[in-house]
Structure 1
Amino acid sequence: AWAAGNYTVKPYLMRNGKAAVLPLTDSLARQDMLAVAAVDAGTRGRIRLAAALEQDVLEKLFRSEITESEDLNVSQEGQVNARRRRRLGALLLDDAPLSRPDGDACALALCAFIRDQGLRVLPWDEPARQWLARVRLLHQTWGDPWPDLSDTWLLDELENWLAPHLGTCTDLRQLSAARLADALRCLLPYPLLRRLEQLAPAQWQAPSGRSHPIVYDAEGGPFVAAKLQEFFGCEDTPHIADGRVPLTLHLLSPAGRPLQITRDLGHFWRNGYPQVRAEMRGRYPRHPWPDDPLAAQATARTNRQLARGK
């Protein structure tokens, strides 16, 4: 009840969406439903003529006008809440939870939620992030046939690439990183999947023979990090994408700390290495620091291990 003028009244919602009120002193104010015959004009008109109405009578009278819907919304945690609702115009007659909502409807609701919240709500792991960055690099380098998998495109096309992989998910937390990765891979036909491994590999083999991951989503382009000694004998900066994209090299100390970042390995050997050697050979005497790094064997081993042939 609420006050309006000198009356304490009970509000009612009419099927046309407008409000009407009845004084609490009126005996009909005890009824949940009314058949209203006359009401004053205005946004909250006073009911002048009405009669009590039972819901079963209402449903018989207006059976053909009652609508039923399955309404879905997604919580901030990404959980789909589904309810079955029956309405007569603006009047809500029934509102009950729906235990088994339609899978396609859930997928569309989750897509709308992701579009509103952003791709950050998806279960990204590092391999998926790197896979996406690899495809984007090739699109930037060549354009077609490599697709534009920008954030904007992925959000616009959620219903096409992600929805089919949501399955029976009623909670975004049920979407695993593995299933997300599968959905992304389906964006490339098989021939391009093979070319991706050739042109933008996930790993790069250093001259030492050890493999290291290539980080593709870094500012400034893809880079690889390895111990400086693993590049001995290598004068040219390694490239990917059929030689079109140089790798930025993070040259590390034996302890894994950065010593130099370069995209011109030859320049580093000529100009930067002598100072690095002078500073590091006393700090890491068990590791090789040759005068001529281009004539030395690339290695990740210590001097003792090299001497033993290990």
Structure 2
Amino acid sequence: MPSTPAIEADDLVKTYPGGRGRPDVRALDGLTLTVPAGTVHGLLGPNGAGKSTTTKVLTTLSTPTSGTARVAGHDVAREAGEVRRRIGYVSQGTGADPLLTPRENLVMTGRLRGLGRSAAADRATALVDRFGLTELADRGTAKLSGGTRRKLDVALGLVGSPQVLFLDEPTTGLDPEARAAMWDEIRRLSGEDALTVLLTTHYLEEADRLADGLSIVDRGRVVAAGTPDELKATLAGDTLTVDLVEPDADVVRAVAAAVPGLGEVLVHVEGPAGRLVARTPDGPLLVGPTIAALQAAGVRHGAVAVSRPTLDDVYLRHAGRSWTSADTSSTGVAR
């Protein structure tokens, strides 16, 4: 018999007053979400899509206007105290006091979570050992590197031995080595500890590598959900990418519209560089005609690539602002 999901949200709506005669802002518009226990679930979406509001509702920091949500088996509105006892939350900004040492931060958090003095000290020591902070545990937190501070932030989120951990952009600003170390720790949390992790991130590679399941949020609702492989499988065919040199976006749009087989097209222009990205049933077959059409129109180009669908392609399909539908010839332009 399947276990109860760690997170269940059903038809969540959250509105904020517009103020000064403006209409209310509908941050969540019927969002529905299910996260199985013991998994890492990625929450993706553009800024303003509703990710932060979703997290606030699920962590009891905000009350939904309508709809229901349960975390660790408890209703976030009617049983907020029970939810808080069962979750950990790591915000994008550090939650550690820079004037305290890592050990002092952990002990203080344990005391705030209701642990006795001895239990808080023991929990701090266990987390210091687990996160490899032993040599730094009694130094000033303000002097820690960015990667070490994020380790401490996650450790602080685990002080209360939560069933569900919310991680908001946990690797933003980290160097590649520190990011890889954080990825390993997140996977260990869901594997060895059987902890449920809800991860919000803008790094699609991170979501692809870490998440057992993904929900793409846009305009306050989930617009696509599934495992990374399931979502990528929804895009048939190939992605054709052409780097452009000082392109005229209007000309590129016209060229793309005239090449049979380019079903979905994105033109991105930034300074003197640009890129044409297209979906096509057969990428290798369309390379020649596409390049020939660009050259005939006087569009200079650089590298050409054909690839299978990536999570980036899925994200752009569902939450991008510049994709066009398969039967449309116009393309969006980002300047």
Same fold (TM over 0.5): no
Mark the structure with the bigger radius of gyration: 1
TM-score normalized with structure 2 length: 0.21
